[in-house]
A and B are shown apart, each in its own frame.
Chain A
Amino acid sequence: MGTHVIKMPDIGEGIAEVELSQWHVKVGDLVVEDQVLADVMTDKAMVDIPSPVHGKVIALGGQPGEVMAVGSVLISIEVEGAGNLKESAAPAPVATNEAPAALKVEAAVESKPAAAAAPRSAPVCQGPMVAREADERPLASPAVRKHALDLGIQLRLVRGTGPAGRVLHEDLDAYLAQGQSNASAPATAAYAQRHDEEQIQVIGMRRKIAQRMQDATRRAAHFSYVEEIDVTAIEELRSHLNEKHGASRGKLTLLPFLVRALVVALRDFPQMNARYDDEAQVITRLGAVHVGVATQSDVGLMVPVVRHAEARSLWDSAAEISRLANAARNGKASRDELSGSTITLTSLGALGGIVSTPVLNLPEVAIVGVNKIVERPMVIKGQVVIRKMMNLSSSFDHRVVDGMDAALFIQAIRGLIEQPATLFVE
């Protein structure tokens, strides 16, 4: 029997840290080749780590939520034969930039067995009452364990004051006393003061989103511009197309029309379809229009990308948007599908709201937000008529986009949407 060690792979772009999202196995499980061991996350892509070997899981290298260095030990598997763990072997190989599948052959060789414990970071849950790692078995005598069960106390939440952090009977008493003083307010009163607190670790997607939002608002000079658009005509066109072709080609939402409007308007405003590298001080204008579509998933905001929108028909765009949205929501969107956009569309859809101030998806320089469609009385040619109105709330990076250009760009989009035929006039 030997030990096969799998290290945290480099998933691309030379990043040094990868977040461990979820384990699919536990210590003691038998795994077969190609079985998924864990999900790890980088940037916004979730990647499966498959097992390259048959064997038994003997140690996990980290906790879900832990950010682990590329090359640190992810998991140890007991295998037939020698395995790849050697007492005094060559240093760990340089991590490669290959796709996860290629990692199977990366014979990760451990330089020092003791390092297996190294990637453990600080305790996952911090708080006044916790004094050990989440998976660590609390040190306590059988009598203390039994007493804790009798009292309904989870031993792992109790701070141990004995030698080596051993939980003593006194610690149980102290924990209980603390709990009682917390619970002194009358429990039945609906207007009772509350003093409870819940600590939620900012991990995984949430951490990524927080970092990116912080980065975007710190770096870019956001300039927001809101315009009201009459969508009566395009809504008529949309419902007509859905009636006529809905059954055969699929239903259209407003999004593919907006994608089309971006594509057409960008021909005259190439500076909006760009990436600004503020370190190199270079703006790259792109011919291809890769539209990021902000999508809410269970784990948070994701931005899957409709590639080459300039080459897609309405239905083509519609199908791609819906496919990507599903993939993102199910956590199955690939890294490629979640990166590389050149401009972003964001929509709070039917939720309402008059105005939003979207945050740029850096290094892009423009983001267009869609607000709710409402019927409103409008004055047209001296008559009050009911029209379907919608606000577009957009933001631009004012460092490289002037206000005048931004306004003109939105006005162009407005013109295209209010006169839908012009979307298709080449």
Chain B
Amino acid sequence: MQTLNTTLLIIGGGPGGYVTAIRAGQLGISTILVEGQSLGGTCLNIGCIPSKALIHVAEQFHQTQHHSQHSALGISVSAPTLDISKSVEWKDGIVDRLTTGVAALLKKNKVQVINGWAKVIDGKTVEVGDTRIQCEHLVLATGSTSVNLPILPIGGPIISSTEALAPKSVPKRLVVVGGGYIGLELGIAYRKLGAEVSVVEAQDRILPAYDAELTQPVHEALKQLGVKLYLKHSVLGFDGTLQVRDPNGDTLNLETDQVLVAVGRKPNTQGWNLEALNLDMNGSAIKIDSRCQTSMRNVYAIGDLSGEPMLAHRAMAQGEMVAELISGKSREFNPTAIAAVCFTEPELVVVGQTPDEAKAAGLDCIVSSFPFAANGRAMTLESKSGFVRVVARRDNHVIVGWQAVGVGVSELSTAFAQSLEMGARLEDIGGTIHAHPTLGEAVQEAALRALGHALHL
């Protein structure tokens, strides 16, 4: 057996792992990264990036179809056709370019990448095939996997998000199990690609993690797109049709060609002998402190493996911090807020505290929103649904949270996060000139409205 020695060993080449490796390389730490599949992890290969590519295809197709039916814009085209295999090829091209880019960055920073499945032996030893790697610091970054339902085992017509992102054809009918952001993003994309889509959700509304006011525009859009919602319905099983139980306890049979199971993700703790470390857990995730340290010295866990919020940008920030910690710097993972974005129709962003969270934390807050219906740029984008909402302390006007729903608001997350990290007050945002005509004006107006003097309302 070959033995390698390194200062830092990272298990998992997703956004958490590869960023740790790049930063460690920059800091001159000898680093080995082990990845069993493709660099980039879930995010680049079967998550964030491919889903956004598919959503873009769906949106373009949908828009073209819209124009083929006498759109108000005066554009007329003939009905579009879709070659989904070409779409998937295009998406794969993007994924390929990004993963190749990650590999190049790792190489540039002198990170040794080992392809294979890691097996943990102890806190300083990992085996990959017949290679044994000894390290001083071990970073666990194995990410997460889709939660499976035992009554709906993946296979044949029953698919997970992974299969849904590489369709061979668009099914005529699709039932999405799970009304969270993954289910809705994909469900909406499939609907725009032409499938008849239904969403089954056990709770009484879609996106149950967010408040009803915020999800209302998404609810409206689903109605307009013709996505059928089965709220407060639970899945019983599948035998050609999907059986669900309605709120009255009656069983319905939903005719469908495919069933997409999107009921959440869970930390990937199985199959790599994590048990050997006997780490303290926090539910199904590895328990970490504010420095991403596990209960074992010099063993760190980052990203989805360390629990909620399971977001690539959190994993990257944690990875960067861990690399700096290992280099001897004093560091702490102390963001004021981590933005969460849903690429639904329309998009939805939450950064910092919601009004309910602020109230629960005992803060006396001003909550104010500004509708896109009063924003010129939104109108020129043929979309006036949604709003920007700000939550700020009543006593000193420090902003504690932003939420927005509407066309293109994912890009506003940058401004939101920045204002929170800088400790901005309502007056700071209200006093910043926001370019006209942009969606961002709604951000300024929400702050002005909280101060009692919105200009365009």
Chain A interfacial positions (CB closer than 8 Å to B): 3, 27, 58-59, 61, 76, 78, 113-114, 116-117, 120, 137, 139-142, 145-146, 149-150, 152, 162-166
Which partner residue on chain A sits nearest B361 by CB separation? A59
Do residues B425 and A113 form an inter-chain contact, with CB atoms below 8 A? no
Given A149-B331, A163-B425, A166-B423, are A139 and B398 neighbors across the interface (CB < 8 Å)? yes
- Looking at the complex, which one of A78, A145, A164, A166 makes contact with B360 (CB distance below 8 Å)? A78
Do residues B423 and A141 form an inter-chain contact, with CB atoms below 8 A? yes
Measured between C-beta atoms, what is the minimum distance from A414 to chain B in Å? 61
Do residues B423 and A139 form an inter-chain contact, with CB atoms below 8 A? yes
- How far is A59 from B359 in the complex, measured between Cα atoms in Å? 9
Do residues B397 and A164 form an inter-chain contact, with CB atoms below 8 A? yes
Give the bracket for the number of chain B residues in contact with chain A: 20 to 34
Measured between C-beta atoms, what is the minimum distance from A136 to chain B in Å? 11
Do residues A141 and B421 form an inter-chain contact, with CB atoms below 8 A? yes
Which partner residue on chain A sits nearest B363 by CB separation? A117
Do residues A164 and B425 form an inter-chain contact, with CB atoms below 8 A? yes
Which partner residue on chain A sits nearest B398 by CB separation? A164
Chain B interfacial positions (CB closer than 8 Å to A): 329-332, 334-336, 359-364, 396-398, 421-423, 425, 428
Identify 10 new A-B residue pairs, CB closer than 8 A, beyond the known A141-B421, A142-B421, A149-B332: A61-B362, A116-B362, A117-B363, A139-B423, A142-B335, A149-B329, A149-B331, A163-B423, A164-B423, A166-B423
Given A139-B423, A164-B397, A164-B425, are A150 and B362 neighbors across the interface (CB < 8 Å)? no
- How far is A152 from B330 in the complex, measured between Cα atoms in Å? 7
- Looking at the complex, which one of B330, B398, B422 makes contact with A141 (CB distance below 8 Å)? B422
- How far is A78 from B361 in the complex, measured between Cα atoms in Å? 11
- How far is A78 from B360 in the complex, measured between Cα atoms in Å? 9
- How far is A140 from B362 in the complex, measured between Cα atoms in Å? 21
Measured between C-beta atoms, what is the minimum distance from A131 to chain B in Å? 12
- How far is A165 from B332 in the complex, measured between Cα atoms in Å? 22
Given A149-B331, A149-B332, are A140 and B361 neighbors across the interface (CB < 8 Å)? no
Measured between C-beta atoms, what is the minimum distance from A45 to chain B in Å? 28
Measured between C-beta atoms, what is the minimum distance from A82 to chain B in Å? 15
Q: Which residues of A contact B361 (CB under 8 A)?
A: 27, 58-59
- Looking at the complex, which one of B330, B336, B428 makes contact with A149 (CB distance below 8 Å)? B330
Q: Which residues of B contact A152 (CB under 8 A)?
A: 330
Which partner residue on chain A sits nearest B421 by CB separation? A142
- Looking at the complex, which one of B330, B360, B423 makes contact with A140 (CB distance below 8 Å)? B423
Mostly, the B contact residues are: loop
Do residues A117 and B362 form an inter-chain contact, with CB atoms below 8 A? yes
Measured between C-beta atoms, what is the minimum distance from B276 to chain A in Å? 28
- How far is A149 from B334 in the complex, measured between Cα atoms in Å? 11
Some 5 contacts from A to B, beta carbons below 8 A apart, are: A114-B364, A116-B359, A162-B423, A163-B428, A164-B397
- How far is A146 from B325 in the complex, measured between Cα atoms in Å? 12
- How far is A238 from B398 in the complex, measured between Cα atoms in Å? 71
How many inter-chain residue pairs (CB < 8 Å) link A and B? 49
- How far is A302 from B362 in the complex, measured between Cα atoms in Å? 36
- How far is A145 from B290 in the complex, measured between Cα atoms in Å? 14
Q: Which residues of B contact A150 (CB under 8 A)?
A: 329-330
Q: Which residues of A contact B398 (CB under 8 A)?
A: 139, 164
Given A76-B360, A113-B359, A164-B398, are A145 and B423 neighbors across the interface (CB < 8 Å)? no
Do residues A145 and B334 form an inter-chain contact, with CB atoms below 8 A? yes
- How far is A117 from B425 in the complex, measured between Cα atoms in Å? 20
- How far is A116 from B364 in the complex, measured between Cα atoms in Å? 9
- How far is A359 from B361 in the complex, measured between Cα atoms in Å? 45
Q: Which residues of A contact B428 (CB under 8 A)?
A: 163
Given A152-B330, A164-B396, are A59 and B423 neighbors across the interface (CB < 8 Å)? no
- How far is A58 from B421 in the complex, measured between Cα atoms in Å? 23
- How far is A50 from B359 in the complex, measured between Cα atoms in Å? 24
Do residues A59 and B330 form an inter-chain contact, with CB atoms below 8 A? no
Measured between C-beta atoms, what is the minimum distance from A5 to chain B in Å? 11
Given A141-B422, A164-B423, are A59 and B329 neighbors across the interface (CB < 8 Å)? no
- How far is A141 from B421 in the complex, measured between Cα atoms in Å? 6
Which partner residue on chain B sits nearest A165 by CB separation? B396
Q: Which residues of B contact A114 (CB under 8 A)?
A: 364
Do residues A59 and B362 form an inter-chain contact, with CB atoms below 8 A? yes
Closest 9 CB pairs of A and B: A117-B362, A139-B423, A58-B360, A164-B396, A116-B362, A149-B330, A166-B423, A59-B362, A164-B398
Given A139-B398, A141-B421, are A117 and B330 neighbors across the interface (CB < 8 Å)? no
Which partner residue on chain A sits nearest B357 by CB separation? A58
Do residues A59 and B425 form an inter-chain contact, with CB atoms below 8 A? no
Measured between C-beta atoms, what is the minimum distance from B238 to chain A in Å? 29
Q: Which residues of B contact A139 (CB under 8 A)?
A: 398, 423
Measured between C-beta atoms, what is the minimum distance from A134 to chain B in Å? 15
- How far is A163 from B426 in the complex, measured between Cα atoms in Å? 11
- How far is A164 from B424 in the complex, measured between Cα atoms in Å? 9
Measured between C-beta atoms, what is the minimum distance from B444 to chain A in Å? 18
Interface centre among A3, A61, A117, A152 (most CB of B within 10 A): A117
Interface centre among B329, B332, B334, B396 (most CB of A within 10 A): B334
- Looking at the complex, which one of A27, A117, A140, A162 makes contact with B364 (CB distance below 8 Å)? A117
Which partner residue on chain B sits nearest A119 by CB separation? B362
Q: Which residues of A contact B360 (CB under 8 A)?
A: 3, 58-59, 76, 78
Q: Which residues of B contact A113 (CB under 8 A)?
A: 359
Which partner residue on chain A sits nearest B396 by CB separation? A164
Q: Which residues of B contact A141 (CB under 8 A)?
A: 421-423
- How far is A58 from B329 in the complex, measured between Cα atoms in Å? 33
- How far is A27 from B335 in the complex, measured between Cα atoms in Å? 17
Which partner residue on chain B sits nearest A142 by CB separation? B421
Measured between C-beta atoms, what is the minimum distance from B301 to chain A in Å? 18
Q: Which residues of A contact B330 (CB under 8 A)?
A: 149-150, 152
- How far is A27 from B397 in the complex, measured between Cα atoms in Å? 24
Which partner residue on chain A sits nearest B360 by CB separation? A58
Measured between C-beta atoms, what is the minimum distance from B178 to chain A in Å? 19
Q: Which residues of B contact A162 (CB under 8 A)?
A: 423
- How far is A194 from B370 in the complex, measured between Cα atoms in Å? 59
Q: Which residues of B contact A137 (CB under 8 A)?
A: 336
Measured between C-beta atoms, what is the minimum distance from B214 to chain A in Å? 16
Q: Which residues of A contact B331 (CB under 8 A)?
A: 146, 149
Which partner residue on chain B sits nearest A162 by CB separation? B423
Q: Which residues of A contact B363 (CB under 8 A)?
A: 117
- How far is A15 from B140 in the complex, measured between Cα atoms in Å? 53
Which partner residue on chain A sits nearest B359 by CB separation? A113
- How far is A3 from B362 in the complex, measured between Cα atoms in Å? 12
Measured between C-beta atoms, what is the minimum distance from A66 to chain B in Å? 14
Q: Which residues of A contact B359 (CB under 8 A)?
A: 113, 116
Measured between C-beta atoms, what is the minimum distance from B282 to chain A in Å? 10
Interface centre among B331, B360, B362, B425 (most CB of A within 10 A): B362
Interface centre among A3, A59, A152 (most CB of B within 10 A): A59
Which partner residue on chain B sits nearest A146 by CB separation? B331
Interface centre among B335, B364, B397 (most CB of A within 10 A): B364
- How far is A114 from B365 in the complex, measured between Cα atoms in Å? 9
Measured between C-beta atoms, what is the minimum distance from B129 to chain A in Å? 39
- How far is A114 from B361 in the complex, measured between Cα atoms in Å? 10
Measured between C-beta atoms, what is the minimum distance from A413 to chain B in Å? 57
- How far is A117 from B360 in the complex, measured between Cα atoms in Å? 10
Measured between C-beta atoms, what is the minimum distance from A44 to chain B in Å? 30
Which partner residue on chain B sits nearest A57 by CB separation? B360
Q: Which residues of A contact B422 (CB under 8 A)?
A: 141
Which partner residue on chain B sits nearest A1 by CB separation? B356
Interface centre among A113, A137, A164 (most CB of B within 10 A): A164
- How far is A163 from B428 in the complex, measured between Cα atoms in Å? 10
Which partner residue on chain B sits nearest A152 by CB separation? B330
